[in-house]
Amino acid sequence: MTSHNAIQQLYRLARLYNVETEFIDMYGRVQQASTEALIAALNILGASIENIDDVTSAIRERRLELCKRFIEPVVIARQGKQSTTKISLPADSETPPLQCQLILENGESTEWITPVEQSANTQSISIEGTRYSRGQLSLPSDLPLGYHRLIIEFHGHTHETLVIASPGKACTSIQGRRGQGHWGIFIPLYSLHSERSWGAGDLNDLDRLTAWISNLGGKIVATLPLLPAFLDKPFEPCPYVPISRLFWNEFYLDIEQIPELEICPEAQELMNSAAFVKQVNRLRRLPLVDYRRQMALKRRVLEKLSQCFFSSTVNTGGFRDFVKNNALAEDYAGFRAVSDRHRTPWHVWPKNIREGHISPRHFDEDKMHYHLYTQWQASRQIRSTTQKMQDAGAILYLDFPLGVHPSGYDTWRFRDTFAMEISTGAPPDTFFTLGQNWGSPPLHPERLRQQRYQYYIASIRHHLKHSNLLRIDHVMGLHRLFWIPKGMEARQGVYIRYPSEELYAILSLESVRHKAVIAGEDLGTVPPQVRPAMSRHGIYRTYVVQYDLHSCRNGGSLDIPRNSVASINNHDMPAFAAYWRGDDIRMRQEMGLLDDGGVNHEYWMRGEIKKALLDFLHRMGCDGLNIDDVEAALGATHSFIAGCPAKIVLINLEDLWLETLNQNVPGTRDEFPNWRRKTRYTLEQFSNMPQIAEQLRGINQQRKLRLK
């Protein structure tokens, strides 16, 4: 049996690596991390520990490593404020002045010499016969915003750190428009389908949706991540486990809008053939999106367009600019072409290409050209879409997923940035009693800092280049993530803390540079420090009525924050009508998550919540509501959130016709057709329904009143 002292020493080591040894669960109970999980996580974080007997030496090594770290790899400088950074140096040695050079992001350089300043209330530490003390260095207070290099020479050694000169607070007005009153529509793009698209929504449908909603007063169109996915082998259509957070999904291309179609007779002949038209019509009639067949159909045309393009020398200037401005585009295309050849995850590829060394002999040139060409086209169409939105005074609300596919491009090219032996997830709660394993490897906090956040910055910029409103999935991940070591169950995971202030500094800087608002998805188990940090850094909250309905009980109210994106539900929740009918309770029963007693209790509780909501809406001025009238209850709830103080309100398009089916049921895979269900009506149908337009005009009127 492990002694109490050994456990305490293990906890001490965990704290040195920012590993939490306990957490508070959904019931307010303290849960201790297991010894096995702590050792596994510590080993991945770099501790020299295989078992409990290694703890003492691992503590000594970690303390020595931290003391010998002259300066942290990343330093934050707040714009307009005097900032300092700590430095570590031998206490008993002579301390000559520091020779400093600051190379600004624009290439300008400044140099100075300064003595080491003593940190207040700092005691020296003795490690292996050497005493170390903490000093500090003052940074210039007039630094321009950006990422700068600070180089320090001390005792013949050169040390370098990244200085993030950040505004400290993200942009809080949308495209420079102050005040509140913005509203828009949410719908997954794959679900949005039309009479002209090929069985799932594309970017042309998104353009048409924007035009329709703009005419009704809406200014925001929100959708799920539009990032690339494995739609053949391996197959993973979930938008929250993309191949990469640096590229776009060619699945959403509108083929008919590609310029090369006019000069490619082979593609025209294919698209006009009776067999091809028949397949497209069959895809249009399906109630669910068939990703495999539709992508295979689109790919046949796109490959011909790619071949026509690369065999011609006409109009290649835009393509050359794309490749020049996207340094990783050819690398990504090469990875996808190798994937096409092997049709297996990169973890089992031959060693040289598995380790990132790809040359033309490892893939078919046509396949590489295809992936490069489709990324160019996707970039063009996304840019065209956002430009049309801007012209209409509208905004595309993009979604930045927490993770990536473990076999995708990002983990292959940036594998040192990820903790590949770990999956992210969540501990057990009232809904997922065994916890959740999301299957995505987390970013490695130490390596992320050592690599100066290059991957993270590039991923954020990829989105903000085309969006003035970005949702950060699971914003709690800026503070901590639940790590589940391979081979362990979800409930056995541990929380790892992340350098949140540095991540907020990056988000704030990129937000201000792109004039974009950042919203954090802060639903579920939220540590107490998260929301104050979001407020301090100007990050909008995500407020979802269905998450907060318990507040209405006993005469309570729904208090929607001003700096928030408010909605009734989201993609992981039942639509309003389904919630009102209790369809989600029946579904959980069928999945075996609730026994008969639990089902009865849930139905009783749902009835109480519905009564409480109607009482609250009555107090807010909505009269004549009946618990059996779901349409009236929805209208009153829409009226309430339309008049709420939130700067942004999102309306779930499917709620408008009382949809009862989910887009996604968390915790399911084959039991439910997640990420595949089309909207009940086509774009042409619902955009011509008077009752739909009437509801949205009412919401628009309420938002206008809010502006007064």
Q: Could you tell me the pLDDT band of residue 269, with boundaries at 50, 70 and 90?
A: very high
Q: Which of 575, 543, 550, 574 is nearest to 641 (CA)?
A: 543
Q: Nearest-CA neighbor of 236 among 339, 320, 338, 135?
A: 339
Query: Do 91 and 153 fall within a single domain?
Result: yes
Domain boundary among 146, 166, 186: 166
Please say which residue of 149, 166, 183 terminates a domain. 166
At 142 the pLDDT is 86
- Residue 290 inside a domain? The answer is no
Q: In this prediction, what percent of the chain has a pLDDT beyond 90?
A: 79
- pLDDT reported for residue 431: 65
Whether 9 is in a domain gets the answer yes
Place of tokens 């002949």: 269
Closest CA to 186 of 581, 648, 644: 648
User: And the tokens for 145?
Assistant: 């915003």
Domain membership flag for residue 137: yes
What average pLDDT score do residues 182-198 get? 97
Residues 96 and 150 in one domain: yes
Is the pLDDT higher at 92 or at 606? 606
pLDDT at position 708? 59
DSSP of 504-522, one letter per residue? HHHHHHHHHHHT-EEEE--
Question: pLDDT class for 430, splitting at 50, 70, 90?
Answer: low
Sign of CA dihedral 115, 101, 85, 442: negative
Per-residue pLDDT band for 315 (boundaries 50, 70, 90) equals low
pLDDT at residue 133, as a whole number:
85
Output the CA–CA distances (angstroms, integers) from residue 703 to 221, 542, 642, 698, 700, in the order listed. 16, 18, 6, 9, 5
120, pLDDT greater than 70:
no
> What is the average pLDDT across 304-332?
90
| Rounded mean pLDDT, 551-566 | 90
CA 62-68-69 angle, to 5 degrees, is 90
Domain of 152?
A: 80-166
CA gap 202, 194 in Å, rounded: 9
- Residue 122: the pLDDT is 61
Which pLDDT score, from 0 to 100, does residue 92 have? 67
The model's pLDDT over 150-159, given as tens digits with 9 standing for 90+, comes to 999 988 899 9
- Look at residue 77 and tell me whether its pLDDT is greater than 80: yes
Beta strand 146-154 with 157-166 is: antiparallel
* Residue 314 in this model has a pLDDT that exceeds 80: no
Structural domains in the chain (count): 2
Residue 430 identity (one-letter amino acid): T
Across 234-335, where does the E strand assignment appear? Answer: 235-236
Decide if 244 is inside a domain.
Answer: no
Both 97 and 160 in one domain: the answer is yes
Per-residue pLDDT at 1 exceeds 60: no
Q: How far apart are CA 437 and CA 444, in angstroms?
A: 17
Residues 282-308 pLDDT 10s: 999 999 999 999 999 999 999 999 999
Residue 364's SS3 state is coil
Catalogue the E-assigned strands of 208-340.
Answer: 220-222, 230-231, 235-236
Residues 161 and 93 placed together within one structural domain of the fold = yes
- Provide the whole-model pTM: 0.95
pLDDT at residue number 156: 85
Same domain flag for 58 and 86: no
pLDDT tens readout for residues 517-550:
999 999 988 899 999 999 999 999 999 999 999 8
Question: Are 118 and 158 part of one and the same domain?
Answer: yes
Task: Say whether both 91 and 155 belong to one domain.
Answer: yes
- With respect to residue 47, please indicate whether it lies within any of the assigned structural domains: yes
- Of residues 336, 324, 498, the one with CA closest to residue 412: 336
What's the pLDDT tens digit per position in 465-502? 999 999 999 999 999 999 999 999 998 999 999 999 99
Please indicate, yes or no, whether residues 97 and 136 belong to a single structural domain of this protein. Answer: yes
| Nearest CA among 506, 445, 446 for reference residue 470 | 506
Smallest Cα–Cα separation from 139: which of 155, 154, 161, 158? 161
**What is the mean pLDDT of the segment spanning 378-383?**
97
Q: Is pLDDT at 176 greater than 70 in this prediction? A: no
In a domain, 424, yes or no: no
CA pair distance 334, 409, nearest whole angstrom: 10
Boundary of a domain, candidates 166, 199, 218: 166
Structure tokens at 192: 């949005």
- Cα 446 to Cα 451: distance, rounded to the nearest angstrom: 9
Q: Is 556 exposed, middle or buried (0-12, 13-18, 19+ CB in 10 A)?
A: middle
Specify if 138 maps to a domain: yes
Give me 506's structure tokens: 């990056």
Note whether 192 and 683 are within 8 A (CB).
yes
Query: Could you tell me if 166 and 105 are in contact, meaning their C-beta atoms sit under 8 angstroms apart?
Result: no
Torsion over CA: 373, 374, 379, 383 (sign): positive
Distance, in Å, from the CA atom of 578 to the CA atom of 576, rounded to the nearest integer, reads: 5
Q: Are residues 102 and 53 in the same domain?
A: no
pLDDT given at position 91: 76
Same domain assignment for residues 87 and 159: yes
Residue 597 resides in a domain:
no
DSSP letter string over 184-227?
EEE--TTT---SSSSSS--HHHHHHHHHHHHHTT--EEE-S---
> Distance from CA of residue 239 to its chain's centroid?
10
Same domain, 21 and 54: yes
683 pLDDT exceeds 80?
Answer: yes
What does the pLDDT average to over 597-626? 92
Strand partners, 231: 235
Q: Do residues 485 and 41 lie in contact, with contact meaning Cβ atoms separated by under 8 Å?
A: yes
> For residue 67, what are its two tokens?
């003391």
What is the identity of the amino acid at 140?
Answer: P
Which stretches within 392-439 are classed as H helix?
Answer: 409-413
Residues 322, 329 contacting (CB under 8 angstroms)? yes
Model confidence at 388, pLDDT cuts 50, 70, 90, reads: very high
Which contiguous run of DSSP H or E holds residue 117?
A: strand 117-118
What pLDDT digit, counting tens, does each position of 577-594 carry? 999 999 999 988 888 777
Q: Any idea what the CATH number is for the domain that residue 120 is in?
A: 2.60.40
- Does residue 189 or residue 88 have the better pLDDT? 189
Report how far residue 554's alpha carbon sits from residue 568's, in angstroms, rounded to the nearest whole number.
21
Q: Is the pLDDT of residue 28 over 90?
A: no
pLDDT digits (tens, 9 = 90+) for 636-650: 999 999 999 999 999
CA distance 383 to 503: 27
Q: What is the mean pLDDT of residues 214-239?
A: 95
Are 108 and 141 members of one domain? yes
pLDDT at position 131, please? 84
Per-chain mean pLDDT for the chain: 93
pLDDT band at 121 (very low <50, low <70, confident <90, very high): low
User: Of the candidates 46, 33, 39, 34, which has an alpha carbon nearest to the alpha carbon of residue 419?
Assistant: 46
